[in-house]
Amino acid sequence: MVEVGGKAILAHLLNGFEEAGVGPVVIVRGYKGESISFPRLTFYDNPHYDTSNILASLFCAEKELSEGFIFSYSDILYPSRVLRSLVQEDREITIVVDTCWQQAYVGRDAHPVSEAELVRVERDRVVEIRKGIDPQIAFGEFIGLAKFSPQGAEALSYHYHSAMSYRAGNAVPFHHAPSLERAYLTDMLQELVDEGVAVNCMTIEGGWVEVDVPGDLVRAERLFGKKAYERRPDG
């Protein structure tokens, strides 16, 4: 709900979804979820937001996933053209990866490179995705935007529940997370890769922003504030 250019980040995202013909839109709410209210949207609440993470939040809306879906973090901004290109992808699972990611970390001391969800690929397929990959061998950074076809969604759900079934307790690690409950989506993507499911990349070269720390708002205003849109009316 932080504002960029006088408009909440979520409102920017909703405008982009509408322009790209993406819908219906489903939002999973956590901390202060009651303050997030937009008409004609479907909401799910994660009551355990303080002890869980992105993957658990996604599966709060599991019944909405089977027909395929676009997944987006809610603290990122990206040009509408990126979403329009992603909609055209016909592979089972496609993640958006920034190959010029290092530029965004220059002077970004409050959010170091160690927090970047980096990706290694071989022949356009992801082989490793997580925080902590050596930047020298990383192909790019996962920006938090992905598309799952119906088949990709089925694989995601199957392997998520398989992972749940062979973990007797919540304290059992899951890839780089202390537990499945506290896993990121990237942990689940790595599980899919390890199980032989193809996770592919759609690449971009910068032009997006994650608003994670106060200093990020300066760059967000420059790229997506009112003046930026006046310079780039096509989005």
Q: What is the pLDDT of residues 139-166, one digit of tens each?
A: 999 999 999 999 999 999 999 999 988 7
Burial class (CB in 10 A: 0-12, 13-18, 19+), 43: middle
The pLDDT assigned to 149 comes to: 98
pLDDT at 106: 86
3-state secondary structure of 95: strand
Please state which of the ranges 49-63, 133-147, 155-169, 193-207 shows the lowest mean pLDDT.
155-169
Question: What is the C-alpha separation between 182 and 123, in angstroms, rounded?
Answer: 31
pLDDT single digits (tens) 4-26: 999 999 999 999 999 999 989 99
pTM: 0.92
Q: How many helices (H) and strands (E) does the chain have?
A: 7, 12
Look up residue 165 and give its two tokens.
Answer: 């079934």
pLDDT digits (tens, 9 = 90+) for 96-124: 999 999 988 888 888 889 999 999 999 88
Residue 228: its pLDDT value, please? 52
Q: What is residue 213's predicted lDDT score, i.e. its pLDDT?
A: 87
Domain boundaries, the chain: 3-231
CATH superfamily of 3-231: Spore Coat Polysaccharide Biosynthesis Protein SpsA; Chain A (3.90.550.10)
Distance CA 77, CA 163 (A): 32
**Three-state secondary structure call for residue 27:** strand
DSSP-assigned beta bridge partners for residue 10 = none
